[in-house]
Amino acid sequence: MAAVSVGFVLPYTATAQATEINSQAEYAFVTDFMSGKVLMEKQADAPMKPASMAKIMTIYIAFQRIKDGSLTLDDTFLISEKAWRKGGSKTFVEVGKQVSVRDLLYGVIIQSGNDAAIAIAEGISGTEEAFAEEMNYVARNLSLSNTVFKNSTGWPDPEQITTARDLNILTTALIRNFPVDEFPDLYPIFQIQNFTYNGIKQGNRNPLVYGTQGADGLKTGHTEESGYGLVGSAQREGQRVIMVLNGMASMKQRSSESRRLMDLMFREFKLYKLYDKDET
């Protein structure tokens, strides 16, 4: 594919700053995927708790194993008692059962299942603690300079920390490194609206996939210490926007604010192809 040069038309002035857009979120970092242009930021490098948005790294590592051929969607992992007993959001996997990587990924991505995330972690690294070490190794390789993972789920831990910028970098890497044309069974899972496992049907936690134009991912998070957060992505007319929000007060606020900001980004920032590679 030929490389392109891109430009932005900003409202009223070519020197408009990303911080001019306000948000109810305590933390925000929004970028254009192709160029990396920062469209909006608010406390982008302030430490915050990732909650279930940490599962994006769990998913990234599983995708990487599938990409390098050491894992397939049809492989199965044994469900431990630790995974089965884990509280919070669940896929309702059963202890002692063998569950396919495909079902576990659906459980993590769509249902935000803590049990499914732990099963993936243990299946790949033997223990969740060892998997957390791999999460941090990958984080360093991706230059997530202000992130520390302590578990596969985002479960509260005093040492677990990230930033809105780091989650944006991780999400950008996930979309770039596992393109849909090469891996049609991976990233598209994020936009599926519901998944039934063990006879229990659960809807996607991401409000963007219910009617926001072009939305195709990714992940929500919530704990008392983090508030309500969302990592979202949408693509319209060849332009993709990556959005990280956190620290909102309710599910309702998360839903309305993420929809509002995503639509605003596409209204106010446009990509233009100026010339092809090597063209004078």
201-215 pLDDT tens trace: 999 999 999 999 999
| pLDDT score at 45 | 98
Other CB atoms within a 10 A radius of the CB of residue 205 amount to 19
Answer yes or no: are the C-beta atoms of 156 and 72 closer than 8 Å.
Answer: no
- Of the residues 23, 42, 49, 55, which is catalytic? 55
| pLDDT score at 263 | 96
User: pLDDT tens across 68-84, in order?
Assistant: 999 999 999 999 999 99
Please confirm, yes or no, whether 80 is among the known catalytic residues: no
Amino acid (one-letter) located at 158: P
Please confirm, yes or no, whether 250 is among the known catalytic residues: no
Please confirm, yes or no, whether 273 is among the known catalytic residues: no
Task: Report the C-alpha gap between 34 and 30 in whole angstroms.
Answer: 12
| pLDDT score at 5 | 35
Answer yes or no: are the C-beta atoms of 231 and 33 closer than 8 Å.
Answer: no
Task: Report the C-alpha gap between 234 and 208 in whole angstroms.
Answer: 9
- Of the residues 42, 49, 52, 219, which is catalytic? 52
Low-confidence ranges of the chain (pLDDT < 50): 1-19
- Of the residues 112, 233, 255, 258, which is catalytic? 112
Answer yes or no: are the C-beta atoms of 262 and 243 closer than 8 Å.
Answer: yes
| pLDDT score at 20 | 66
